[in-house]
Amino acid sequence: MFVDEVRVYVEAGSGGNGCIAFRREKYVPKGGPSGGDGGRGGDIRLRAEAGLSTLHDYRYRRHLRAGRGGHGSGDNRHGADGEALILPVPVGTVVRDASGEVLGDLARPGQELVVAKGGRGGRGNASFAGPTRRTPRYAEAGQPGEARWVVLELKLLADAGLVGMPNAGKSSLLASLSAARPKVADYPFTTLEPRLGVVEVPGGGSFVLADIPGLIEGAHEGKGLGDRFLRHIERTRVIVHVLDLGAPPERDLYEDYRTIERELEAYRPELARRPRVVVANKVDLPGAEERWRGVQVRMPGAEVIPVSALTRQGLPEMVRVVARALDASPTR
């Protein structure tokens, strides 16, 4: 199951208590204090793992605790440090606290973030001994570890993202262009979760393409599948609009394009400045080529590439155009 947002409670380990002890050895007169320090509590750290693609592991595992530090003991023995708790998360996970402040963005494999620090261990009475305090009879208690709620939000890392109305054929395009096998059916909202695929570029190179579930008017307000998946478009460097040439004749494809544009801009205004590639899918259907030409006339400033996920017509040209747009766009 694809889970892209969870709220978890993290509690780092408390530090161990310091010890009050004195040496009582034969032939060692006035042995003095020998209480050891407590160990430090374990941290809770998040680590980005390239092999993960969902936060499903934390859907039912909401309370996470690290090990506490061991107590100090006599003979100047210090307590062991508590075991840190390392939580693997997918690359692209954004971490926020309960107030919404961003604590970190784990955008690279192996990157780590401490979300709760372990408590400091208390000092034993041996640490307080000095010229004026020969026999201190007190020690410190260990400090509690940090504890708080954090929100983990996954934003998929893809070079380009397919967007469009439901049933426009985005999943079919992804399946034709890559080894990904998303669910394909002839009804709206077939895709219920984003999918990623690696697309090979003719002549060398590749890029990661994401299939974003279908958007409708009002998606940024939660309509349809809502803004649940709009976050996954934020990291894409190129947005690929997919128009449905097989839509009913009364559907205005140019207005579909404008609707998606408005939804993207309403969700994040900076998305309006991302490079665009517009493709018209299902050109193999009867009358589709004339419909494509009509859309192209209404979009003189953009090239509308006719393609067919079924016959693969126009797909090499589409891949080359997307690759050129990626080469011209900055890496995020």
Q: Is the pLDDT of residue 1 over 70?
A: no
Q: What are the residue ranges spanned by the domains of the chain?
A: 1-154, 160-328
Q: CB–CB of 234/155 below 8 Å?
A: yes
Q: How confident is the model at residue 165 (pLDDT cuts 50, 70, 90)?
A: confident
C-alpha–C-alpha distance, residues 47 and 295, integer Å: 47
Q: Is the pLDDT of residue 218 over 80?
A: no
pTM listed for this prediction:
0.67
pLDDT top residue among 218 and 106: 106
pLDDT of residue 219: 43
Q: What CATH number does the domain located at 160-328 have? A: 3.40.50.300
Beta strands in 37-186 (DSSP E): 44-49, 63-65, 85-90, 93-97, 102-106, 112-116, 147-154, 160-163
Q: CB–CB of 160/239 below 8 Å?
A: yes
Q: Is the pLDDT of residue 270 over 70?
A: yes
Lowest mean pLDDT among 29-38, 46-55, 225-234, 308-317: 225-234
Which DSSP category does 33 fall into? B
Q: Is the pLDDT of residue 221 over 50?
A: no
pLDDT of residue 184: 46
Instruction: Please check whether the domain covering 1-154 is classified as CATH 3.40.50.150.
Output: no
pLDDT tens across 274-331, in order?
Answer: 899 999 999 999 989 999 999 999 988 788 999 998 899 999 999 999 999 998 877 6
